[in-house]
Amino acid sequence: MDTGVRIETAASKQLVRMRRFYLAAGAYAACLPVLIAAHYVGLVPLAPMLRLAILMVGANLAFFAIFRSGVNQRAPDPSLTWPQVLVAIAILMYGVYYFDRERGLALMLCLVVLSFGAFRFSTREFFTAAGVVLAGYLVVINVLMWARPTTVNVPIEAYRWLTLALVLPCFAMVGGRISELRRRLRRSNEELNSALRMIQKMATHDALTGLPNRALFNEALVHAIGQAQRHRRSLALFFLDIDRFKNINDTLGHPVGDRVLQEVGQRITVAVRASDMVARLGGDEFVLLVEDFAETPDLGDIAAKILGAFGPSFHVDGQELALSASIGICTFPDDGSDAQTLLSNADIAMYRAKEQGRNRHCFYAAELNKLSQERLALEAALKHALQRDEIEIHYQPKIEFGGGRVTGVEALIRWRHPHLGLLLPDRFVPLAEETGLIVPIGYWTLRRVCERVCKWKEQGISLSVAVNLSASQFHQPELVKELAAILWSTGAPAQALELEITETMVMKDPDRAVAVMEQLRAMGVRLSIDDFGTGHSSLGYLKRFPIDRLKVDRSFVRELPHNGDDAAITGAVIALAHSLKMTVVAEGVEDQQQFDLLRDQGCDEFQGYYCRPPLPEAELMRFLNEERGLFARGARKAERACG
């Protein structure tokens, strides 16, 4: 493409030169009738007139041949301005030699020749050319005085020469100025053109990745649809979204995010054919237009190739990042007949790919539309859920294995949807995370929990409450300040609050995480690692984290005691936590066998349906009162409290 541009400009430059040549040839052509007229009024004899005419035609033919052959392109000035001017002056000097009666005419023609230099010459070159004319005139007169003295009237020729010597420098000055102005005009014209090209590029391309932007892509898509319609062909649209890109921006900052986007753009471009159009719509959304493909399985191959391009880790600013993407695919005419529908359906399919677990592609199907509409409706309703007081908190007790004592509760949010009823977090927390609504919801939960802690305290119940923190909240710079403000304004003791964070949240940027955790601990808030075992934490860091509790993920408890691997894992986690002076909580304990095994392994506390599911506040109070009653009556075991 680059060489194409170069060839094109070289060709267009040669065209400009040819035009210059024709201009000069035109000037000669204008001189010829003047010459013939001069002969008829008796100023020039026939033979010199013919010779002059032949010289003019001959010179032009020679120059024409040179320009056409392209030999001129090797010259320092491929327009051959100097050779042209010198040859013209020489021919005119030959004329001066024979214009016995009217040498002034030939000299006037000299001015015409020089004026052509105005298109090319600098003032200095004009002076040189003027000098050549004056010198030539001097030589011709001297030769005439020697060869044909009768034809020379010395005072008149001296007068002419002096007049020329006065006029030519002025002419050179004016000519030089004109040519300078022309050059400036051309330069600003070029600048204007390149600015115009840049504006055009900016309007149609994404500044970060250099890929076509939404506007250009839409235009191309509309055009491609028209073509496909006319030729009864299909086309495919891929919609790609980087998985969890928001996390990268939030944790590593926007400059890193930008570099990732650039790299992603490159990788996609390399993975697809040159004829397929890749564009960035904005954010972390990329699209691909595939105009010719044989059958649908081909599209799956293309998607696999793109996802494969995400395989090697990304290296940005010394960080190694593992990334993946989700792709939605739809085709014309099956899944939509206009650009807008196709884009929206590919987007819907992309969401489906995310829901199915990310790092995959998904083809659009009409049923997805319904799902997506539900999702949009849910998203819209979630925006108002807080103001409309639809979010509630349920509390699940944590029980000590040894004494059956309730050591605290975990706050788990629910959404009482006006039409859909009580929704569990898996229906709306991922949505809240994607839309950022999880941050206000998270702060609301913290405040509500703190208020409850105070209220219960007044009722004589001192209970510690564990609250789940979302990744975006944990990475908010204001977290510590906001939490301090909530504790201060509600008057809740920090010791009553425990924050649950996951391994993945802290391992993104462990040094920063340690700093935040230490600030939280300094306030008196306790910390636990949730879903332990499902992320990847480094043991080295685990030692550095100021953590009070590890919560063994439910997935390791589910198949206990039959699954030997899981039993080995829970045993090892319990031993590890104890060696790090942490308490261990087993999640999702549902039956007596699980309970027994974990107790025998030395686990400290458990949560699960074996005791109670998450309870609304009133039920929690009832449970706690019963439990207090049991203790008062000397009940010993958790089996009794929970059974």
How far apart, in whole angstroms, are the C-alpha atoms of residue 160 and residue 551? 110
Decide: is 284 part of the binding site for Ca ion (CB under 5 A).
no
Q: How far is the CB of 532 from ligand C2E (least distance, A)?
A: 10
Which residue intervals of 272-338 are DSSP H helices?
296-309
Pick one of 179, 209, 326, 470: the residue that binds ligand C2E (CB under 6 A). Answer: 470
> What mask, x for binding ligand C2E by CB under 6 A, covers residues 512 to 541?
------------------xx----------
- With beta carbons less than 8 A apart as the criterion, state whether 121 and 175 touch: yes
Decide: is 425 part of the binding site for ligand C2E (CB under 6 A).
yes
Residue 470 is given by DSSP the state P
| Cis peptide bond N-terminal to 561, omega within 30 | yes
How far apart, in whole angstroms, are the C-alpha atoms of residue 239 and residue 280? 10
Q: Which does 566 bind (CB under 5 to 8 A by kind): ligand C2E, Ca ion, none?
A: none
Q: Which does 609 bind (CB under 5 to 8 A by kind): ligand C2E, Ca ion, none?
A: ligand C2E
Q: Which does 237 bind (CB under 5 to 8 A by kind): Ca ion, ligand C2E, none?
A: none
- With beta carbons less than 8 A apart as the criterion, state whether 324 and 358 touch: yes
Q: How far is the CB of 547 from ligand C2E (least distance, A)?
A: 16
- With beta carbons less than 8 A apart as the criterion, state whether 293 and 299 touch: yes
Q: How far is the CB of 299 from Ca ion (least distance, A)?
A: 39
| Nearest CB to ligand C2E, comparing residues 291 and 590 | 590
- Of residues 528-567, which lie at the interface with Ca ion (CB under 5 A)? 530-531
- With beta carbons less than 8 A apart as the criterion, state whether 350 and 307 touch: no
Residue 138 vs residues 143, 165, 515: alpha-carbon distances, Å? 9, 11, 93
How far apart, in whole angstroms, are the C-alpha atoms of residue 616 and residue 626? 15
| Nearest CB to Ca ion, comparing residues 243 and 531 | 531
Q: How far is the CB of 354 from Ca ion (least distance, A)?
A: 22
Q: Which stretch binds Ca ion (CB under 5 A): 5-13, 90-98, 289-297, 463-471?
A: 463-471
Can you say whether the dihedral through the CA atoms of 482, 487, 493, 496 is positive or negative? negative
Q: Which does 424 bind (CB under 5 to 8 A by kind): Ca ion, ligand C2E, none?
A: ligand C2E
Decide: is 413 part of the binding site for ligand C2E (CB under 6 A).
yes
Q: Which stretch binds Ca ion (CB under 5 A): 150-158, 369-377, 460-468, 480-488?
A: 460-468
Q: How far is the CB of 488 from ligand C2E (least distance, A)?
A: 21
Amino acid present at 557? V
Q: Which stretch binds ligand C2E (CB under 6 A): 245-253, 263-271, 437-445, 490-498?
A: 437-445
Ranges of beta strands (E only) in 302-360 are: 314-316, 319-321, 325-332
Q: How far is the CB of 397 from ligand C2E (least distance, A)?
A: 10
Amino acid present at 527? L
Decide: is 397 part of the binding site for ligand C2E (CB under 6 A).
no
Pick one of 96, 118, 129, 429: the residue that binds ligand C2E (CB under 6 A). Answer: 429
Q: Which stretch binds Ca ion (CB under 5 A): 54-62, 187-195, 277-285, 522-530?
A: 522-530
Residue 279 is given by DSSP the state E
- With beta carbons less than 8 A apart as the criterion, state whether 350 and 286 touch: no
| Measured CA angle at 490 (ends 484, 493), to 5 deg | 65
**Other C-beta atoms within 10 Å of 606: how many?**
28
The helix or strand, by DSSP H or E, that contains position 60, with its residue range, turns out to be helix 46-69
How far apart, in whole angstroms, are the C-alpha atoms of residue 513 and residue 507? 8
Decide: is 249 part of the binding site for ligand C2E (CB under 6 A).
no
Q: Which does 601 bind (CB under 5 to 8 A by kind): Ca ion, ligand C2E, none?
A: none
How far apart, in whole angstroms, are the C-alpha atoms of residue 113 and residue 93? 12
Using CB under 5 A, count the residues that bind Ca ion: 5
| Nearest CB to Ca ion, comparing residues 72 and 468 | 468
- CB hemisphere CA count around 175 (13 angstroms): 26
The helix or strand, by DSSP H or E, that contains position 437, with its residue range, turns out to be none
- Of residues 560-619, which lie at the interface with Ca ion (CB under 5 A)? 587
| Nearest CB to ligand C2E, comparing residues 285 and 590 | 590
Q: Of the candidates 442, 554, 432, 548, which has an alpha carbon nearest to the alpha carbon of residue 495?
A: 548
Residue 623 vs residues 466, 609, 628: alpha-carbon distances, Å? 18, 14, 9
Q: Which stretch binds ligand C2E (CB under 6 A): 89-97, 457-465, 509-517, 582-590?
A: 582-590
> What mask, x for binding Ca ion by CB under 5 A, covers residues 55 to 94?
----------------------------------------
Q: How far is the CB of 552 from ligand C2E (least distance, A)?
A: 11
Q: How far is the CB of 396 from ligand C2E (least distance, A)?
A: 6
Pick one of 60, 234, 407, 468: the residue that binds Ca ion (CB under 5 A). Answer: 468
Q: Is 514 exposed, middle or buried (0-12, 13-18, 19+ CB in 10 A)?
A: middle
Amino acid present at 582? M
- Of residues 596-635, which lie at the interface with ligand C2E (CB under 6 A)? 607-609, 614
Q: Which stretch binds ligand C2E (CB under 6 A): 349-357, 488-496, 587-595, 616-624?
A: 587-595
How far apart, in whole angstroms, are the C-alpha atoms of residue 379 and residue 431? 7
The overall longest dimension of the chain from CA atoms, in Å, is: 152
| Nearest CB to ligand C2E, comparing residues 221 and 573 | 573
Q: Of the candidates 450, 461, 530, 463, which has an alpha carbon nearest to the alpha carbon of residue 490?
A: 450
| Nearest CB to Ca ion, comparing residues 433 and 500 | 500
How far apart, in whole angstroms, are the C-alpha atoms of residue 593 and residue 606? 13
| Nearest CB to Ca ion, comparing residues 79 and 470 | 470
Using CB under 6 A, count the residues that bind ligand C2E: 23
Q: How far is the CB of 319 from ligand C2E (least distance, A)?
A: 25
Q: How far is the CB of 383 from ligand C2E (least distance, A)?
A: 17
Decide: is 503 part of the binding site for ligand C2E (CB under 6 A).
no
| Nearest CB to ligand C2E, comparing residues 349 and 589 | 589
Amino acid present at 516? V
Q: Which residues touch 378 (CB under 8 Å, ≥6 apart)?
A: 427, 428, 431
| Nearest CB to ligand C2E, comparing residues 172 and 586 | 586
Q: Which stretch binds ligand C2E (CB under 6 A): 35-43, 104-112, 345-353, 421-429?
A: 421-429
How far apart, in whole angstroms, are the C-alpha atoms of residue 94 and residue 319? 80
DSSP string, 4-42: HHHHHHHHHHHHHHHHHHHHHHHHHHHHHHHHHHHHHTT
| Nearest CB to Ca ion, comparing residues 433 and 530 | 530
Q: List contacts with ligand C2E (CB under 6 A).
A: 396, 412-413, 424-426, 429, 438, 442, 445, 468, 470, 530-531, 554, 587-590, 607-609, 614
Q: List contacts with Ca ion (CB under 5 A).
A: 468, 500, 530-531, 587
